[in-house]
Structure 1
C-alpha cells in the first residue's frame, strides 16, 4: 500500500508553493490572515461588551486601528477581556508590520540580486551584441568606443557571456573607466550562454544592428552562429541585422558556413577565416616591412579608416567623374573605389573607374562625415618621376610549423619570384599538419624551393647556425597556440626575436622580422624596442569584426584588399614617383600615382635611422593652405596597386 502524505506535510507543501509565487502572493496571504484575525477578535470583543450585535462594527474598527498602531488600549476603554484582546491586536499589528516590511525588503533584495546576476531583458534597438567575454572582447569594445566618440546619440553595446555580470562590469571598468569616460557608448552586460536561444532573446537580438561572435573556440562559435541564424531568420528580426564571426581553424570553416547559410540568399552571416587572413597578412608583411602598421591603421577606428559614403550623401558634382578627377577636389579624404548594387565593390584603375549617380563612394577618411570639397579641382603639379624597381628573388626563413603554414606557403607561391627559397625550421619531428600535396604543387609551379629543417631546440646557437646557412631576406616567427599558455608562447617568441636582433646587430644583416604573437600586452613590450612587425591574431580579428559590425560593406572591401587578385596594399619607394627633396602637395602626389594606374592612401617617412609610423590619408592642408611634403631616399608611399613592383627596371 502506497504511504499517503500526512495533513501537516500537505499543508507545508501547499504553503511552500504559495509563498514561492512572489511578493504579491505573500502580501495576499498576510492580508487574508489579518482579515480572519480581525473578524475573530472583533466578534469576541463585542461579546465581551455584552451587546455584540450593536457593538460589532465599532469593535471591528477599533481592532483595525489598534492593529495598525493608531489606537492604544487604556484601562477605561472597556472590560478587562476587551482590553486584553486589544493588546493582542496591538501585538499582532507589530507582527503584521514587521512581516510586511520583511516581504517587501526581501523582494527588493531579490530584484537587486537578479539585476546583479544580469539575467534581465534588454530593451534596446539598433544596438550591437558581443557574444563571449575574453581578450578579443576588450579589442572590440575599445574599437566601438572609439568609433562612437563623434556620434550624436549614445550607442549601446550588449555583452553576453556565462561570466558573472559583476566580474564583467568590474573588468570593463578597469580597462575603459566609468560610463562618463566614454559617454557615447553604454555597455550592458548580461549573463547567459552565447548559444542559448532564451539568452539571445533577452539581449533583444530581434532589434539589434549586428551580432559579433567572439567565442574562444570554433565549436562554440559554430553553435552561436546556428542560434543567431535561427533567431535572425525567424521573421521577427530586423531585415538588416546580421552576425559576424571569426573561425580560427581551416577545418571548421565549412561547418560554420553551413551553420550560417553563408553565401546563400537571405544570408545573415559574415564569416572571417582567420587562418587564411593571417597567412596573407604575414606573407605581405614579411615582404614589405612596416606593412603590419598600415593594416592596423586601416583596420582600427583611431586615425583614418575606410568608409562607405552612401549615394544619397555623394555630391552630384562628383557624378560622371573618374576617381582620379574626384581626388583633385576632396579636401580631407581619398576616394579609392565605388560600391555598385550590381557589381559590388569596385577597386580598379582610378583612370577608368567612373562614379555614376546612385553609386556609393568608398573613401579613406578620419570620420564618416559628409565629403568636404574644394570649390574647384586643384591643378596638380607635373613633377612625376617614372622610375621602376626590379622584382627580385627572396630567401625566406620561417620558424614554426603551425597549421597556418600551409596557407602561408600558398601565399608565398603567389607572390614570390621564381627562384625564391622558403626554409621552415621546427622543433617537432613531425608537423601537426603536414604540407599538403596541393601546397607543394603550387610551390613547384611557381619554381619556389621549400626546405624543411628540424632542430631539437631553437636556441641561440641553432638560430645563428640557421641564419648563417639560409642568409634570409625576411624571417617569420609563428606562435604554436596549441602547445602552451599564451604568455609562455609569447615568451618563446620574444626570446627568438631577441636572438634574431642580436644576430642582425652582430653580423650587420638587414633581414626583416615578422612575428606572430598571442597577447597585446606582450606585443607592446616587444614593439617598444624595435620597429619590427608584430601581428596578433586575436587583435586583428577584433579589429576586423568591429569594422564589419558597423558597416557590412567593409567586408567586401577587406576581401578585395586581401585577395591575391586585383588591388592590394603595397609600400613603394617615393623616389620612383617624385623627385627627392622637392616640395610637393598631396593633390599632386595622388594624381601622379593615379597616372600610373595606382592609388595613394598614405606615406611613411624616415627620421634618422628609424621609420616613422605610416600616415594613412595624410593632411592635405595646414593652417588653411595646401600643405607640401618633401621625400627622401628611403621614404615610402602606401599604395593600392595590382603589382608589387614595376615589371621593367630602368635604373
Structure 2
C-alpha cells in the first residue's frame, strides 16, 4: 500500500506536469487557503484590525499583509493579531516567490517554444517551401525578385532544422528581402501534424525541396506528396505543387498520386538537356538565364482580344517591347512556336518574353518598316559533324549522350576521359545512339599531361562533369582545377573553346565565372530557378518542357548571315520578319563588341543593328 505522503506527492506531480496554467491554479488555491485560514483563526480569537472593522475589512487586511508584507505596520493590535499577520506575510512571501519562479519558467518555456518554431502560421496566399537543401537559397532569392511588384508577400519554410539556424542561414545568404517576409518553422514535412502548422491548404504555391544528404530523395518527395494531397488533417492543397525528382520511374509513381495537381520536374534530365544544348552553342546559357531568372525578362501568358483573327506571324511584329514564344489556346493547350499561319482565336492568349507582366502591350503608333531587300533568302547553313570531349562521369552522362545524339549530325565523335573504366556503360549507349561515335580513355581529368595528350584544341566543345562520388566541395575543387587547365590550354593555342562546366555548389560559381560567353556553369541553381518559375505560373510547365525537349522547338544560335545582309543597318523588326519566313521566332542576338561577345534578348523591334560575320541570331526553332 502507498503512504499518504506518496499519494500527495504523486497528485502534486501530476498537477505540475500539466503546465504553467495548472501550477498557477494550484498557487492561487494555496493563497486562498492561507487567507481563509488566518481569517478563521482571527474570528476564533476575536481579534480584528480595528474596533469598527467588519469581516470584509479583516479579509482585506489579511490580503494586503499577504501580497505586500513590506508596506504594512506590524505594531498594531495585540500580539495574537501581530502573530497572525506575520504568518499571513510569511505565507505570502512563499507564494509570491513561487509565483515569480513559475512565471519566469513559463515565459522561458514560451520563448523556447517560439524558438523551436512550432507555432501556427497565420498566413494566406503564401509560398510554402517544404524541406531544406542548398537549393533553398536560390529559390528564396528568386521568389523575392518575383514579389518585387507586390505590396507584400510571404515565404514560409518548413524543414527538420532549428528555426533560428534556418533564419540565420537565410539572413546571411540573402540579407535583403524587400517586401517579402520569410517565416521559418521546425518540423518534418512528412509529419501531418507539423505540416498543418504551415497551412498548405492556404498556400498559393508549394515547392518541395529534396534533401541533399539522403540516398533516395525521390522517396521523400513521394511521401510529402501523399501527406499534402491525401491527409485529412492537412486539408486540400489548392495551390500549385512543384517538385524535382531524379528517376523517371519515380515520377510516374508521383503522377499517379498527384495527378494534374503537381508539376514534377526531372531534375537530372533537365540539367542534362541544358548541358547538351549549350555545349554546342556558346552564349546560349545566358539566354536560359534570362528566361529563368526573375531579375531580367521572363515569360508571361497574356490574353489580347485585339489579336483575334490575326495570324501568329502578324502578331510577332505587333509588340514593340515583347517577344512572342507561342500561344495558349482557349482550350488550355500550349503551342510553342506554332506555324506562322496559325489564326489566333477568341480566348487564345500569347506567351511572351517581357520585362514584366504589365509590359506585354501592343505597340502604339506606326510599326517600323521591314527592309525586305536586306532579308537573305538562301537556305540555312547545314549542320556538320562535331568533335566533343567529355571530362569526368556521373549519373547524368547517359542522359547527355542520348540527348546529344538527337541534335548532332551523323559522324559526330564524342570522347570520354575519366579515372574509371566506363566501357560497359558506353557499350549500352552505342546500341542506343545513331549519330555519335563513342570512345573513351582512362585518365585523371585534373592532370595537365592527360589533357595535353587529349589534344583539347582539336575539339569543338568540352563538357566537364562533376564527380558526384566525392564530397561536394572536393568535387567542385577538382572541377575548378580542370577548368583552369582548359582555359590555359585554350589561351596558349589562341582558340576559343566552348566549355560547359557542371558545379554542385552554387557558391563555387563565383570562383569559376569569367567574362566569357563560352563557359556555362551548370548547377542546382538552374533547377531552383525553374522550380520558382513554375511555382509562380504553373502554365509555364508545358512551355519549359517543350523548350528542353529535343522533340519540340528549342533555342538555337544561327549565323546572322542566314537572315539579313551583313554590314547593312536593319531594325530588329526586319530580323523578326526574316526568321518568320523560316517558321522561326527571333528572340535576340549574340554580337561581338570589340573582342567581347554580348548576348541580348527581347530587343525592341524599332532598334537598328548592323551585323557582321560571326554575329548570331537567337531563334526559337524546331531545328
TM-score band w.r.t. shorter chain: over 0.9
Counting only pairs closer than 5 Å after superposition, residues 411-430 of structure 1 correspond to structure 2 as 411-430=403-422
- Displacement of 1:418 in angstroms is 0.9
Q: Tell whether the 8 Å contact from 1:245 to 1:545 is kept in structure 2 after alignment.
A: yes
Q: Tell whether the 8 Å contact from 1:214 to 1:221 is kept in structure 2 after alignment.
A: no
Cα deviations across residues 364-397 of structure 1 (Å, max 9, x unaligned)? Answer: 0111226322235614332312243121111111
Residue 185 (str. 1) matches residue 172 (str. 2) = no
Cα deviations across residues 214-270 of structure 1 (Å, max 9, x unaligned)? Answer: 12246344324323334334577456423211123x3xx323431452684xx3221
Q: Aligned partners of 1:345 and 1:117: how far apart in 2?
A: 45
Residue 244 (str. 1) matches residue 242 (str. 2) = yes
Aligned pair in 2 of structure 1 residues 22, 464: CA closer, same or farther (>3 Å)? same
Partner of 2:425 in structure 1? 434
Alignment length (residue pairs): 614
Aligned pair in 2 of structure 1 residues 629, 426: CA closer, same or farther (>3 Å)? same
Residue 170 (str. 1) matches residue 168 (str. 2) = yes
Residue 270 (str. 1) matches residue 263 (str. 2) = yes
Residue 381 (str. 1) matches residue 378 (str. 2) = no
Give the match's secondary structure for 1:605: strand
Partner of 1:228 in structure 2? 225
Q: Tell whether the 8 Å contact from 1:194 to 1:224 is kept in structure 2 after alignment.
A: no
- Out of 318, 326, 329, the residue aligned to residue 307 of structure 2 is 318
Q: Aligned partners of 1:73 and 1:263: how far apart in 2?
A: 76
Q: Aligned partners of 2:405 and 2:514: how far apart in 1?
A: 33
- Displacement of 1:12 in angstroms is 2.2
Partner of 1:393 in structure 2? 385
Q: Aligned partners of 1:150 and 1:328: how far apart in 2?
A: 27
Normalised by the length of structure 1, the TM-score is 0.89
Partner of 2:472 in structure 1? 486
Q: Aligned partners of 1:415 and 1:263: how far apart in 2?
A: 33
Give the match's secondary structure for 1:534: strand
Q: Aligned partners of 2:562 and 2:474: how far apart in 1?
A: 44
- Displacement of 1:109 in angstroms is 2.1
- Displacement of 1:510 in angstroms is 4.1
Partner of 1:616 in structure 2? 601
Aligned pair in 2 of structure 1 residues 642, 172: CA closer, same or farther (>3 Å)? same
Q: Tell whether the 8 Å contact from 1:350 to 1:599 is kept in structure 2 after alignment.
A: no
Q: Aligned partners of 2:494 and 2:178: how far apart in 1?
A: 51
Q: Tell whether the 8 Å contact from 1:517 to 1:534 is kept in structure 2 after alignment.
A: no
- Displacement of 1:19 in angstroms is 1.6
- Displacement of 1:189 in angstroms is 0.5
Q: Tell whether the 8 Å contact from 2:352 to 2:360 is kept in structure 1 after alignment.
A: no
Normalised by the length of structure 2, the TM-score is 0.92
Q: Tell whether the 8 Å contact from 1:338 to 1:360 is kept in structure 2 after alignment.
A: yes
Partner of 1:590 in structure 2? 576
Cα deviations across residues 255-302 of structure 1 (Å, max 9, x unaligned)? Answer: 3431452684xx322111122112211111111111122111111111
- Out of 37, 41, 47, the residue aligned to residue 40 of structure 1 is 37
Q: Aligned partners of 2:228 and 2:395: how far apart in 1?
A: 34
Give the match's secondary structure for 1:355: coil
Partner of 2:68 in structure 1? 69
Partner of 2:87 in structure 1? 88
Partner of 2:282 in structure 1? 289
Q: Which runs of 5+ in 1 are unaligned?
A: 621-625, 644-651
Cα deviations across residues 511-567 of structure 1 (Å, max 9, x unaligned)? Answer: 321111112232222222644323333111111111111111111101010111121
Q: Aligned partners of 2:532 and 2:47: how far apart in 1?
A: 84
Partner of 1:577 in structure 2? 563
Q: Tell whether the 8 Å contact from 1:516 to 1:536 is kept in structure 2 after alignment.
A: yes
Cα deviations across residues 54-90 of structure 1 (Å, max 9, x unaligned)? Answer: 9655422321232232872443x32201111112212
Aligned pair in 2 of structure 1 residues 301, 325: CA closer, same or farther (>3 Å)? same
Q: Aligned partners of 1:234 and 1:351: how far apart in 2?
A: 47
Q: Aligned partners of 1:210 and 1:218: how far apart in 2?
A: 27
Q: Tell whether the 8 Å contact from 1:208 to 1:238 is kept in structure 2 after alignment.
A: no
Give the match's secondary structure for 1:303: coil
- Displacement of 1:345 in angstroms is 0.8
Q: Aligned partners of 1:182 and 1:239: how far apart in 2?
A: 26
Q: Tell whether the 8 Å contact from 1:386 to 1:577 is kept in structure 2 after alignment.
A: yes
Partner of 1:623 in structure 2? none
- Displacement of 1:163 in angstroms is 1.5
Cα deviations across residues 125-161 of structure 1 (Å, max 9, x unaligned)? Answer: 121111222320000011000111111x311111111
Q: Aligned partners of 1:6 and 1:306: how far apart in 2?
A: 78
Mean Cα displacement is larger for which, 164-173 or 376-385?
Answer: 376-385
Aligned pair in 2 of structure 1 residues 176, 411: CA closer, same or farther (>3 Å)? same
Partner of 2:144 in structure 1? 145
Residue 212 (str. 1) matches residue 207 (str. 2) = yes
Displacement over 6 Å in runs of 4+: none
Q: Tell whether the 8 Å contact from 1:262 to 1:270 is kept in structure 2 after alignment.
A: no
Q: Aligned partners of 2:356 and 2:336: how far apart in 1?
A: 21
- Displacement of 1:464 in angstroms is 0.8
- Out of 340, 358, 365, the residue aligned to residue 354 of structure 2 is 365
Residue 120 (str. 1) matches residue 119 (str. 2) = yes
Q: Aligned partners of 1:496 and 1:283: how far apart in 2?
A: 19
Q: Aligned partners of 1:257 and 1:283: how far apart in 2?
A: 24
Q: Aligned partners of 1:453 and 1:365: how far apart in 2?
A: 46
